[in-house]
Structure 1
Amino acid sequence: MNWREHIHSDPAVLTGKPVVRGTRLAVDFLLELFASGWTSAQVLEGYPQLTPEALRAVFAFAAEAMHEESFYAVQLGAR
């Protein structure tokens, strides 16, 4: 999946957040919908400007971003 065909960033749109091309739907917003329990069908119904390919691109973008980042475990308090 070449997410670059579907995801882009423009400083004039949502201060440069990655969005689905041709929309103002940010990648993080769409991921939050899924994290909240939305299904692909619900997202596509609620946002008809999206395509199934664009949704796959959101996940491909997120996966690639995770590969490129370093994460550190932080203990928030004693157990």
Structure 2
Amino acid sequence: MRFPYITSDAAILGGKPIIKNTRISVEFILELIASGGSVSQIAESYPHLSVEAIQQAISFAAYNLRNDAFYEMTPAM
């Protein structure tokens, strides 16, 4: 298994990818990073998360965004 710390269950957060055995989503980890948090700060704030699990959440997101293309669309008037 490439990402053993990451799982998804339709009954938890609508099936969003989460860190296993928590209700903390990969999305939430990315939001914390985007708002200026570091991996060590997140681990300190959420002591039930290991540094490895947090790093794997970031890697999981990067892996799943690879080869995606995003296009800005302007609505036709």
Report the TM-score range of the alignment, normalised by the length of the smaller protein: 0.7 to 0.9
Q: Unaligned 5+ residue runs, structure 2?
A: none
CA distance in 2 between counterparts of 1:29 and 1:71 reads 21
* Count of aligned positions: 73
1:19 aligns with 18
Following superposition, the deviation at residue 71 of structure 1 comes to: 1.7
Q: Unaligned 5+ residue runs, structure 1?
A: none
User: C-alpha deviations, 1:24-79, integer Å up to 9, x for none?
Assistant: 0000011000100011111001111111110111111111111152322x166xxx
* Corresponding letter in the other structure for 1:63: A
Map 1:25-64 to 2 at 5 A.
25-64=24-63
Under a length normalisation based on structure 2, what TM-score does the superposition of the two structures give?
0.85
Under a length normalisation based on structure 1, what TM-score does the superposition of the two structures give?
0.83
Note the aligned Cα RMSD (angstroms): 1.5
Q: Which structure's relative contact order is higher, taking Cα pairs within 8 Å and 6+ residues apart?
A: 1
Runs of 4+ in 1 over 2 A off after TM superposition: none
* Corresponding letter in the other structure for 1:46: S
Query: Does the residue aligned with 2:47 lie in a helix, a strand or coil?
Result: coil
CA distance in 2 between counterparts of 1:57 and 1:28 reads 12
Query: Does the residue aligned with 2:70 lie in a helix, a strand or coil?
Result: coil
